[in-house]
Structure formats: C-alpha cells, structure tokens
Amino acid sequence: MIVKLSDIEDRLIVKGEIASPVFENLEEEQFTIESPVRFELVITKLDDNVRISGPVRSTVIMSCSRCLEEFSCPLETYLDIEVEPKRLLSHEAEVELRPDDLDIYYYDGDEINLDPLIYDEVLLNLPIRPLCREDCAGLCHICGKNKNVESCACSQYASTVLGEKLKNFLNT
C-alpha cells in the first residue's frame, strides 16, 4: 500500500491487509504466511521525517525446531519506525552509516510504500527457534521418533547407560 504524503495533513490512520501470496517469493525464509498480514498504522508527519507506528498481525506456518512438525504460529508485533526523506542523505552520511543506523528507512519524493516496511517487521519478528509448544519433547536422537506422538525406549536406555557410567566414575 502506498501513501501520498501530500494527502496527509498531520496524521493519517491506514488499515489494511496484505494477502499472503506477496510473501511467497521470500524463499530464503522458513515460513509460510497462513492468514493475510493485517495492519493498522498511524502515519504522523514530523518535520522532515515520517513516523509510522501500529500493530501488525498475522499467522505464519513454521517448522518446530525440535520435532520438525509444521505448526501455526500467531504473530503479533508493533511497528514503530521513522522514515527519512532520501534527499537528506548526503554521500558522506552514507559512508558513515553506523550499524545501529541500519534499520532507518527512507522515502523518495511524496510517496511511502508501506509494504516493504511491513514485510520487514514480520521477518524481524519471526521466532528464531520456533516451538510447536513450550514443552515439545522433540525427536529421539537415537531412533528419530517424534516423542510427542510415541514414546521409545532409547532415551531410557541411554540414561541408564549414562547413569551407570556416572556411578562408576563417582565410585572410583
């Protein structure tokens, strides 16, 4: 969605949603958008900058980092950024960019495209180690069974062996 700054007096509230297919070409990411990404953003004109803030919500499908099963993960984040006009960025300033400046956004001319800002917000807020549930038992590292679904004897055996070794170690 593109907003025209000349249409905004002081502030503007934009509500909308981005359909999931828009995210499909972001193939490097291990997720699928399940429901449209909904946003309700307040766009405030400051002097030269523009502040954009408000909730961004969606549901994504990710693979659990323990059991590898796909699960549905609600995503609710709050976007709060300032966007600077591109013309203020001199060549010198570009060279001196510090790492903490990297998430400054720029707009060109009279228009701001909200879509890339919203994508970034979603990408930045995906869980790094997604879990289908807090206490996911994961896969057995010996037989590979999903321990949420069925139990196996491996871990018991493994812990007994380890227990025996530990006992021997402590007794010597």
Contact set with Zn ion (CB under 5 A) = 64, 66-67, 132, 136, 140, 142-143, 152, 154
Quick one: 39 or 66, whose CB is closer to Zn ion?
Answer: 66
Q: What's the rounded Cα separation, in Å, for the pair 79 and 41?
A: 8
CB of 142 to Zn ion, least distance (A): 5
- Residue 103 Ramachandran class (φ > 0 left, ψ -120 to 50 alpha, else beta): alpha
Helix runs in 39-153, H state only: 91-95, 114-124
Quick one: 3 or 62, whose CB is closer to Zn ion?
Answer: 62
Quick one: 75 or 136, whose CB is closer to Zn ion?
Answer: 136
User: Residues 165, 170, 171, 172: is their CA dihedral positive or negative?
Assistant: positive
Q: What's the rounded Cα separation, in Å, for the pair 27 and 149?
A: 30
CB of 152 to Zn ion, least distance (A): 3
Q: What's the rounded Cα separation, in Å, for the pair 22 and 31?
A: 13
Give which of 43, 38, 42 is closest to 58, Cα–Cα: 38
CB of 89 to Zn ion, least distance (A): 45
CB of 153 to Zn ion, least distance (A): 7
Quick one: 34 or 69, whose CB is closer to Zn ion?
Answer: 69
Give which of 128, 122, 135 is closest to 63, Cα–Cα: 128
CB of 70 to Zn ion, least distance (A): 10
Quick one: 26 or 143, whose CB is closer to Zn ion?
Answer: 143
